[in-house]
A and B are shown apart, each in its own frame.
Chain A
Amino acid sequence: MNHLQLWVPASVLWVLGSVVGVLVLATAIVAWMRRGDGAGRHTELAARVKSWWVLVAIFALAISFRRGIAIAFFALLSFLALKEYLSLIPTRRADRRVLFWAYLCVPLQYLWIWQQWYNMFLIFIPVWAFLFIAMRMVLRGETRDFLRAAGTIHWGLMTMVFGLSHLAWLLLLPGNAPVAAHGAALLLFVVLLTELNDVLQYVWGRTLGRHPIIPSVSPNKTAEGLLGGALSTTLVSVALAPLLTPLTRSDAIAAGLMIGFGGFIGDVTISALKRDIGVKDSGAIIPGHGGILDRIDSLLFTAPLFFHFLMYFYF
C-alpha cells in the first residue's frame, strides 16, 4: 500500500473533514427548506450544494496523494478554464494557430512548477509568452482587430494560466525556507477561504443586503454582502491560520481581508467580462454554478495575492 500513502499532513485531513461536516449541514438545511410543498423550490440551490460535494471530492482527491498529481490537477484546471474563456470570447479565424500556442503554454507553465524553476515560473507568461504570441500573430499578417485579439489572448493567459498556477506553486512551499509549513495546507487555506468567502458574501447579501455596490456590473452584489462576507472570512482565517499556515494573528487578519476583498474583485471582474460578451454563465459544466470560470473567478485574484503576500513575508 506504499504507493497510496497520503502526503498531506493531518491538519489538512481535519480541515477537509470539517468541510464535509459543513456540507452535511448545508445538505440538511436545503432538504429542510424543500420539505413538504417546498419540494419544487430552491432547485438551483439544491443543485449547487450537490455540485459542492463533487467539487470538494475532486479537490480532496487531487491534493491528497502526491504533489505531482496535485500539480497535474491544476494544469488540467488551467486548460479547462482557458478553453472556456477562449470559447466565450470572439476570436479571429486567423488566430487559430496562435490559440494553439496559447494552449501549449499550459503544460509548459506547470512543467516549470514541477521542475521548481521559480524564475521561469514568474516570467514565462508575462515575458516569453507575451512576446512570442505577439510575434506569432504579427507574422500571420492580419491587422484587422489585431490589438483586440492580442489583448484578449494575453488576458486569458495571465488569468487562467499564470494566475491559477500560483496555486500549484504553493504546493512546493516551504522549499528550503526555514519555516514550518506544508504546501498542501497553504493551498487548502487560500482555496477554502476564497470559496467560503463567495458563499458567505452570497448569504450575507441575500439576508441583509440593501445597498447595491456595483449595480452596472453585478446587480445582486451589495455593500452588506461584501463587508459581512469579508469580515466573516477574516474570522475564519484567524481560526484556521494556526492550523494550516505559519501566519501570525495580525497577518491572518490581513490575509483574510485580502482574500475577502480580492475574491470580490475577481468575482465582479469575471461578471464584467460576461456582461461585455452578453452571457449569463460562462458554461454549464457544473450544475447550479455554471461554468468553470463562474466557480474559479475569485481565485483568479486571491491566488496570486495570497501567494505573493506569503512569499514576501515568510519564504
Chain B
Amino acid sequence: MGGLLRLLFYGVIVRGVVLVVLGLNVRHRERLPTRGPAILAANHNSHLDAMALISLLPLRLLPRVRPVAAADYFLRNRWLAWFALKVVGIVPLNRQRQHEREDLLAPVAAALERGDILIFFPEGSRGEPEQLAEFKSGLARIAERRPDVPVIPIYTYGLGRALPRGEWLLVPFFVDIFVGQALPFEGDRAAYMQRYRDAMAALAREEQRADWD
C-alpha cells in the first residue's frame, strides 16, 4: 500500500510537476548512481529540491531512494508524519541531541546499510532563496563512517525561485541540475567539507547567471 502510494506520488504527481511545470536542465547525468548505497549531497532552497532530485533517478530505483529530513519539522504532527514517512519516504533525522550519547547519524547509517540512495542536504535547512548557507559537517561524518559509499555533490538552481521557503504558490521556472563527481573521503572532516564546498562552487560556475546590480 505504502509502496503503491509512493509510486503514484513520485511517478505521476511529482514527475508531472517537475518535468512539465518546471522542466529540468541536467548536466552530467551519467554521474548519477545506478544502484545503492549512495548519497546525493545537494544545496537546499526549496521543498521541491528532493522532489527534483528523486525525479532524476529511474522509477525502478524508487523503493531505494529516500530524502534525509529533519524529524522536528516533518514529524511535528500525525498527518504530516504519515505523509513524510509513508509517501515521501523520508529518513527522519534529529537535528539536536535528545540525550548526551545519542548518535544523530544512526538512522542514516542504517539506511546506507540497507543499500538506500539518500538525498542529503548538508546545509540542514532551506535558508534564503538561491543563497548557499554554511554546510554542516554531518556529511563528512557519514563519509568518514562509510568511505565505501559514493557521495555525489549536486548543484541545483531555480527551485528557490519556483517555490521558496514560506511560499505556497508554485511559479514555473526551468531548473538547472549539475551533477558532480563522487567525492571519496580522505584526510579529516574539515578538509572533506572544504573539498565538497569547492566541488559545489565549481558546479555553480558551470553556468553564468545574470543578475541586476
Contacts of A99 in B (CB 8 A): 171
- Do the beta carbons of A103 and B210 come within 8 Å of each other? no
Contact of B83 with A by CB under 8 A: no
Most buried by A among B25, B27, B129, B167: B25
Total interface residues on B, CB under 8 Å, equals 19
Asked whether A96 and B174 contact (CB < 8 A) given A279-B207, A283-B25, A284-B25, the answer is: no
Give the residue name and chain of the B residue nearest to A280 (CB). B208
Scoring B residues 26 to 62 as 1 if CB is less than 8 Å from chain A, else 0, what string do you get? 0100000000000000000000000000000000000
Bound together, the chains give a CA A91 to CA B172 distance in angstroms of: 13
- Do the beta carbons of B172 and A285 come within 8 Å of each other? no
Total interface residues on A, CB under 8 Å, equals 25
Bound together, the chains give a CA A80 to CA B20 distance in angstroms of: 9
* Partner pick for B171 among A88, A100, A276, CB 8 A cutoff: A100
Contact of B79 with A by CB under 8 A: no
Tally of contacts, chain A with chain B, CB under 8 A: 48
Contact of A251 with B by CB under 8 A: no
* Partner pick for B23 among A100, A279, A285, CB 8 A cutoff: A285
Bound together, the chains give a CA A103 to CA B22 distance in angstroms of: 12
Contacts of B210 in A (CB 8 A): 88-90, 276-279
CB of A124, distance to nearest CB on chain B (Å): 20
Give the residue name and chain of the B residue nearest to A278 (CB). B208
Scoring A residues 209 to 223 as 1 if CB is less than 8 Å from chain B, else 0, what string do you get? 000000000000000
Residues of B within 8 A of A (CB): 23, 25, 27, 129, 158, 161, 164, 167, 169, 171-174, 207-212
Residues of A within 8 A of B (CB): 79-80, 83-84, 86-91, 93, 96-97, 99-100, 103, 145, 148, 276-279, 283-285
